[in-house]
Structure 1
Amino acid sequence: MQLTFTFEREPILLQIRNRLVQIYGQQRDELRHEPTPQWVKAMISSRTLDAISDGAFVRLRGLPSWDMLAQMKTTEITPMIHDVTFAQNKAIHLAKSAQIIKRRRGTVELDFLADWPTQVAFDWLNSLPGTGPKVACVTLNFSTLRRPVFAIDTHVLRVFWRLGLAPNRHNFKRGYITLSNLIPNNWDADDLYELHWLMKYLGQKICTHERPLCGRCPLASLCPSAACLQA
C-alpha cells in the first residue's frame, strides 16, 4: 500500500515575511499617531524622503488645531510644506479634504472612524481629494485605529510587481485589491504593518528602482524577475 502525503504550502506573504524578518528584524511599533495627524502625514509624504516629509509634518502640527487646515488658503499651506514633492498639489488636496471633513463632521478630526466598519471607513477616506487607497490604508493601519488593511507605497508595489504578485507597478488601486486577496485570514493589523515596512526596506535597499541587487535579495528564489534582472 502506497501512502500519499499532501503538504499545504505556506501562503506566499507568510513566506515573504518570514524571510525578511530574518534580515530586518520584527517591525512592531507601539507608538502610533492619532488618526488625523496620521492622515495629514500620509497626505504629504508620497514620493518624498522621510526626513523631508517629517519636517513638513512638524510644521503643520504646530497649527493651533487641525481645523485650521479647513480655514487656510492653499497659498498659506504651501509654504509650510514647500520642500515636499508636489507641494502645491498636496496643499490643494489638504485644504479641500479638510473642508469636506469639517462640513461633514463639524471638525477636522477622524477619531469617529473608530466606530465604523473597516471597509466603510476605507471608502469614506478614499473619497477625499488626494487621499486614494494608499493614504486611506496608512491612516487606518498605522494610526491608533490599527485596522487590518495593507498599505502599499511605491517601493512595496514595485517589489510585488517584480515578484509577479501585482499586475502593474504603477496602479495602486489594482495592487491593493490583488494583494488584499493574498493576505492570510489569521493576520491582524500588526502583521500587515510589519509586512509593509519589511517590503519598504527591501525596496529601498535591495530591490531598488534601478539596478536591483538580486544577488543579495532574500526573496530571489521566489522571484521570477531575478534571473532577467541579473542578466
Structure 2
Amino acid sequence: MTTPAPLNAARPEPERAELLTWVKDQLRAEYGERPLDPRRDPMHELISTILSQRTNWRDEDAAYQELRALGNWDDIIAAPTDAVAHAIRRSNYPESKAPRIQQALIAIRDSPSGYNLDFLRDLPVKDALKWLTDLPGVGIKTASLVLLFNYARPVFPVDTHVHRTTTRMGAIPKMGEQAAHRALLKLLPPDPPFLYELHVNLLRHGQRVCTWHRPKCGACVLRERCDAYAQYGEHVPSWKG
C-alpha cells in the first residue's frame, strides 16, 4: 500500500499542473461546462466584488442594489459617506468599504476613460492588474475577476473557496491568497475559458462540498487525488487559512 504524501508536501510542478487539469475535468462532469460570458457590466463587477469581500452573494447583491438607488456614480461620489455606508449595510464592514468605494469611483471618474473600463481589454495584463489594484479597496482577487470575467484576460482569481480547495488537494503548498494567485496561475494554461470554468466550479465546490468546517469528503468527486483526504479520511480539519 502506498503511503500518502504529507499534506502540502512539494509535488513536482508538472504533476501539480496535471492535477489541476484533472480537477477541472472532474468538476465539469459534476457541475457542467461553464461558458465564459460576462455576467454583468465591468463597473458593476468591480463595485460588487468590493462589496463581496467577507459577504455572501445575496447580501452583496442587496448592498449593490441599495447603493445604486442613491443614483449614478457621480451621485454616489457626492453622497455623504454615512449614506453610502448605510446603503451597503448588508455587506460586511460597510464603514470601511464606503469611503474606499467613493475613493475608487473618484479615481475612475478622473481617469482618461472615465467610467468606461474597456481600455483594460488592450493593456498588457500586468499593467491592467496594476491599474486596478492601485484603486482603493481593490486587491488582486477583485482585479482578476474583472479582467477574466469581463475581458477574457488570462488571469486566475483566487477567493477563499478556490484557495482552500486547491490547498487541500495539494495543488499548492499552504500560502496566503495573494501568493496563491501567482502560484496557481503559473501551473495553469493561459486559456481564459479554461481559467473561468475552473474558477467558478472550484468556487461552487468549495461552497457545497469542500467547506471550511466539516467538508463533505464522502460526497467529493476529487477525494481520490486529494492530499487532505489521503491524510485524514473523512475527518479533514477545519480550514485555518
Bin of the TM-score, shorter chain as denominator length: 0.7 to 0.9
Say yes or no: does 1:226 pair with 2:229.
yes
Give the counterpart of 1:36 among 31, 43, 56. Answer: 43
What residue is the counterpart of 1:75 in the other structure? 82
User: Any gaps of 5 or more consecutive residues in structure 2?
Assistant: 1-13, 236-241
Aligned match of 1:157: 163
In the aligned structure 2, how far is the partner of 1:94 from the partner of 1:127? 13
**Is there any run of 5+ residues in structure 1 with no aligned partner, and where?**
1-7
Do the aligned partners of 2:144 and 2:156 also contact (CA within 8 Å) in 1? yes
Which whole-Å CA distance do the structure 2 matches of 1:38 and 1:24 have between them?
23
Q: Measure, in 2, the Cα distance between the counterparts of 1:48 and 1:107.
A: 28
Q: Secondary structure at the match of 2:158?
A: coil
Cross-structure match for 1:166: 172
Q: In the aligned structure 1, how far is the partner of 2:18 from the partner of 2:88?
A: 41
State the match for 1:192 in structure 2: 195
Identity over the aligned pairs, expressed in percent? Answer: 32
Report Cα offsets for 1:30-55 as digits up to 9, x if no partner.
35322111101111012211111111
Q: Give the alignment's Cα RMSD to 1 decimal.
A: 2.1
Looking at structure 1, the residues matched to 103 and 46 of structure 2 have their Cα atoms a distance apart, in angstroms, of 14
Paired residues of 1:168 and 1:174 also in contact (CA < 8 A): no
Contact 1:133 1:173 in 2 (8 A): yes
The residue type equivalent to 1:165 in the other structure is A
Report Cα offsets for 1:37-84 as digits up to 9, x if no partner. Answer: 110111101221111111112223345422333333321211111111
Given the two structures, how large is their TM-score scaled by the length of structure 2?
0.83
2: distance between equivalents of 1:82 and 1:73? Answer: 14
Secondary structure at the counterpart of residue 174 of structure 2: coil
For normalisation by structure 1, the TM-score amounts to: 0.87
Is the contact made by 1:34 and 1:111 (CA closer than 8 Å) also made in structure 2?
no
